[in-house]
Amino acid sequence: MLDELLGRAELKDRIEELAEEKHHLERQLEAESERRADAVSDRQEAEQRVNRLEDRIVELEDRVDRSEADRETATDRSPRGTESLRGERLAAVLDRLRSFETGPEGALTAALVDDEAPLPERVSKAAGDCGPLVRRAAPTIYYTDDAGLVSAALRPPLMPAAFVDWAAEFRVQESWFRPTGTLVFGVVRADVFALGVYENG
């Protein structure tokens, strides 16, 4: 009653309201702090994820650049030398190929007849970096060995049927490079024609 007369009752009620409001604000502040902490950790996780993705993108771009550079290098490659073989020079080269001996399945002979088709897997594996060069040489007979000592592509007058053969020596058939029998060639254009006869070499 004395409090009411002195106006203390209202002040006490106001103090209780303010204390309750303060308590409520403190709880809000704690909740907000927790939300902020969660938001900060979420943001950090997102930043880490972004960093990982950026690193992955850089890695993939580097891989693409290296792949394109390798492809350009492979495409830019050219044969060490090209030569038309006939007569004694042809005989010497064929004899040299015939004289090459290695262990079982150490010498690869491959007749590549289709210049549009991809290389057979065994040829591609044996040719390695020279694969695109070998494919561009088709139609050809490709010779190489498992040690990489020999790598030659010859285009004979008569291509055999396609084959891939690993053996102890190269397959070199005389009839591919020096056809036997008689072959007749004709070139016709409007009212002019030319005829050529190949007979036993």
pLDDT of residue 72: 57
pLDDT at 183 over 60: yes
Do 104 and 161 belong together in one domain?
yes
Residue 135: is its pLDDT beyond 80?
Answer: yes
Residues 93 and 151 in one domain: yes
Q: What is the pLDDT of residues 52-92, one digit of tens each?
A: 888 888 888 888 877 776 665 555 667 777 888 888 998 89
Alpha-helical runs (H) found in the chain: 2-6, 8-76, 87-99, 121-127, 131-137, 174-177
Residue 123 has which token pair?
């040829």
Domain that holds residue 56: 2-75
Q: Which helix (H) or strand (E) holds 150?
A: none
Whole-number pLDDT of residue 73: 56
Task: Give the three-state DSSP class for 117.
Answer: coil
Q: Indicate whether 130 and 151 sit together in one domain.
A: yes
Q: What is the mean pLDDT of the chain?
A: 83
Number of separate domains in the chain: 2
48 vs 19: CA distance, rounded Å? 43
Instruction: Take residue 26 and report the two structure tokens written for it.
Output: 């403190």
Per the domain annotation, does 113 fall within a domain? yes
